[in-house]
A and B are shown apart, each in its own frame.
With several copies, the nearest count.
Chain A
């Protein structure tokens, strides 16, 4: 038995899981409808696909949600997982699921997929026959992903960095790399059976003042780690920055860089897609304004010609949205895409050159780390602050990079910590903001910048 098989046998056995029948699962995937594969949909569509977020504790409520989404002619169905499952706390998830079922009150902020199991979930997924995207935030997602793929969910979001640094405090980063290596391999293996499984990285990270170069470096590294294992369809992503121009710059640069680095490791046959997240930071508490903000994000997604957009709702500041509200958001976004025509290309050569140089510098530093594999190089780079994510709750994160917004709301680096960017680039970043020496002024500016979309 291969090591992989051994690992698999351990993972799929615990008190919360039904028996896995792997030969039946292979057969299911081999014969599954092409419509379940987002990789297939990307290939055959020219507009930006629309995907909301959404996960309810009980099977029935999730089913109803999908019915609403279907009416709004959604492109990609979401399956958002609850935060207990995300931390592998299936016991708490089970308890809260039971409470939710008994009381008709939602006691979970997502769908506890492991507790529901793949046999049930697959019924729902195949019934609606649209691509489903798994959204979680789990460092050790091995069991979750086995369950998802067996259910007919053929897009898996996340990665060892993007689902760890924003989503966990203590979970060991090296373990996360290994657990995700497992996930990549499972996805790669199943990709040979039918259309490829699509992997997607989570570019928004903490959604709070993350500078473009860090976002893109992390996107590239997760892409490379995935391609290395044989994945053939991958989506890089980022979230609305707050500056239209910075969004356009990021989109242009991330496309170029993804291409460049995929080639660099010798992969030429993988499809790379671009996903744009509507504003992921703190929302206004006025629902009308939230609608405006959401529409503004959709406009930018069109401008940057994203392959997919992940949307928010007018309820964002308040709590998990109602189904109707969520479906309405889908319909509004689809309408905006329909009427938005004649989009001009946007190019800012100077900004793009600076950003590219920053990315190359950081990537070079990662590649130059003395460790033997890319994941170990990346691990070391995070540990010593070559990669540093503002507002990460994780203990390993360096927390030395400080960013604020310039007058056009571009996110700029004002303290570079251990980021290996050139003096020239750093000087450019700093030249854009009027720096104050006074620490409380800077803190107040940061607080203001966090609430930049508030009314």
Chain B
């Protein structure tokens, strides 16, 4: 399966991104890593171009909420019905609770939302989700 990954917006926290790249590969995914400072449109472009199954977005610096509001429109525009949208990292400015964050991002159009969730736990859940779908 093909995954497009990267860190959204003007966020340059790269450490998790490097680990995600390694971990996805170790789990057998084909990875297109756009790195940090990647705008939402670039994720969509790369997914279309590479015919990806999954878009896995990281956000650490608190910006995600600002950017991801536009996801619904983009998703509609590009008709990316079968692409799984995943986001994880630190999904708010300041401290926030899961109960508030998860529904919010689901309403933006994400299938899986991992706020402050450990990488391996998140990727296990992703594989579980993919398993159920197929």
Contact = CB atoms under 8 A, between A and B. Distances in A.
A6 B121 CA distance: 55
Contacts of A206: 14-15
Interface residues of B, number: 25
Interface stretch (A86-94, A122-130, A258-266, A347-355): A86-94
Given A105-B93, A109-B93, A319-B95, 19 more contacts: A83-B61, A92-B10, A96-B66, A107-B65, A107-B93, A109-B63, A168-B37, A170-B37, A206-B14, A319-B62, A319-B92, A319-B93, A319-B94, A320-B93, A391-B15, A392-B14, A393-B36, A393-B37, A450-B15
Contacts, number: 71
A383 interface: no
Interface in B29-84: 35-37, 61-63, 65-66
Interface of B: 9-12, 14-15, 17-19, 22, 35-37, 61-63, 65-66, 90, 92-96, 116
A83 B11 contact: yes
A28 to B, nearest CB: 32
25 contacts: A83-B9, A83-B10, A84-B10, A87-B37, A99-B66, A106-B94, A109-B62, A109-B63, A167-B12, A169-B36, A170-B37, A206-B14, A285-B116, A315-B95, A318-B90, A319-B62, A319-B92, A319-B93, A320-B62, A322-B95, A393-B14, A393-B17, A393-B35, A393-B36, A443-B22
Given A83-B61, A170-B37, A208 B94 contact: no
Interface string A64-103: 0000000000000000000110110100100010010000
A393 B12 contact: yes
Interface in A150-175: 166-170
Interface string A275-293: 0000000100100000000
Contact of B12 (A89, A96, A166): A166
Nearest to B7: A393
A281 B19 CA distance: 15
Contacts of A87: 10, 37
A208 B16 CA distance: 11
Contacts of B19: 447, 450
B90 A319 contact: yes
B110 to A, nearest CB: 19
A108 B35 CA distance: 22
B61 A109 contact: yes
A44 to B, nearest CB: 33
A87 B9 CA distance: 11
A168 B12 contact: yes
Nearest to B63: A83
